[in-house]
Amino acid sequence: MLTYAARRLLGAIPTLLVILTITFFLIRLAPGGPFDGERTLPAEIERNLAAAYHLDEPLPLQYVRYLGQVLQGDFGPSFKYKDFSVTQLIWSGFPVSLQLGGTAMLLAVVIGTALGAFAALRQNSGLDYGVMGAAMVGIAVPNFVIAPLLTLVLGVHLGWLPTGGWGSWQQMLLPVLALALPQIAYIARMTRASMIELLRSNFIRTARAKGLPERVTIFRHALKGALLPVVSYLGPATAAVITGSVVIEQIFGIPGIGRYFVQGALNRDYTLVMGVVIFYGVLIIVFNLLVDLAYGLLDPRVRYD
């Protein structure tokens, strides 16, 4: 398993290189630069600025220089947030984004599997239809619609929760819920489908026939197997939550990485944008690896070769 993990990490290197290269050249091919402001700067100052950030060098040289920097864990200075390095900005935003995304994921897995299992055990009952109908709504209604609607009802009309900001748990509740709802819906549907299939399988019939309590049959035997697809969905779910948090952070004014990304892209803050993309690339790759390893632990049929 260690060799497998090592090989996967090695395989991630070309991927990261592709990410870095595409972003680097995409940004520099684009019209407009980081220092195009409302007023045009004197040519002298513009030259000095370009020289200070090595923007006057030929592109290949800039590329190699940047690559060398990144290898040392340095994403360079931000072009727009003066006096901050990109690394500092990322580390200031990451705990917030992690708290938001992590809570949403946790919520999604716990509530999603519970609802899905519940619906599967009462297949074709009113409860089943209710849960699956709600899940369909959760999938069809995007989180950038759910978020304002929740704010409108719970925040503005009922006045129960604050509509923006970050820090207290009341402020966390709405964004986390908005981010988690589509994932809850997906996971519930998935759990239900695999649970129904498992409940019809031979080993569950055996477990029931030998007189195991229903609770043990379901929790120890059926649910464990039904969780496998959910585990393998965690990879795509992370990517979805990260993408979703870009919007959610924008809507609720949460100071996370997603907001830096959108602001950075609009401001042509080259280094900040590249830093965020690479950071998220690494995050997604590492998380996918962890998911695959966990899958191997849960399912003895999986062999690493």
Partner 1 sequence: MVMNDPSLAGPGAVRPMTVRGRSLWGDAGRRLLRNKAAVAAVIILLLVVLACFVGPLLVPYELDEIFWDAIMTPPDWAGGHLFGTDANGRDLLVRTLNGGQISLMVGLVATAVSLTIGVLYGATAGYLGGRADSVMMRLVDVLYSLPFMFFVILLMVFFGRNIVLIFVAIGAVEWLDMARIVRGQTLSIKRKEFIEAARAGGVRPVSIIRRHIIPNTLGPVVVYMTLTVPKVILLESFLSFLGLGVQEPMTSWGVLISEGAANMESSWWMLVFPAGFLAVTLFSLNFIGDGIRDALDPKDR
State the residues that interact with partner 1 by CB under 8 A.
Answer: 12, 14-15, 18-19, 22-23, 26-27, 29-32, 136-137, 139-142, 144-145, 147-149, 151-152, 156, 239, 242-243, 246-247, 250-251, 261-262, 265-266, 268, 273, 276-277, 280-281, 284-285, 288
CA–CA gap between residue 20 and residue 63 (Å, rounded): 9
CB of 140 to partner 1, least distance (A): 4
Nearer Cβ to partner 1, position 64 or 137? 137
Nearer Cβ to partner 1, position 109 or 280? 280
CA–CA gap between residue 273 and residue 275 (Å, rounded): 5
User: Could you please report the per-residue DSSP string of 12-76?
Assistant: HHHHHHHHHHHHHHHHHHSSS-TT--SSPPPHHHHHHHHHHTTTTS-HHHHHHHHHHHHHTT---
Instruction: Answer yes or no: are the C-beta atoms of 86 and 77 closer than 8 Å.
Output: yes
Which residue carries 């990322």 as its tokens? 90
CB of 212 to partner 1, least distance (A): 28
Nearer Cβ to partner 1, position 208 or 287? 287
Instruction: Answer yes or no: are the C-beta atoms of 253 and 298 closer than 8 Å.
Output: no
Helix (H, G, I), strand (E, B) or coil at 77: strand
CB of 249 to partner 1, least distance (A): 11
CA–CA gap between residue 112 and residue 197 (Å, rounded): 17
Nearer Cβ to partner 1, position 223 or 273? 273
Nearer Cβ to partner 1, position 176 or 249? 249
CB of 267 to partner 1, least distance (A): 10
CB of 285 to partner 1, least distance (A): 6
Contacts (Cβ under 8 Å, ≥6 apart) of 302: 295, 296
CB of 216 to partner 1, least distance (A): 29
Nearer Cβ to partner 1, position 9 or 45? 9
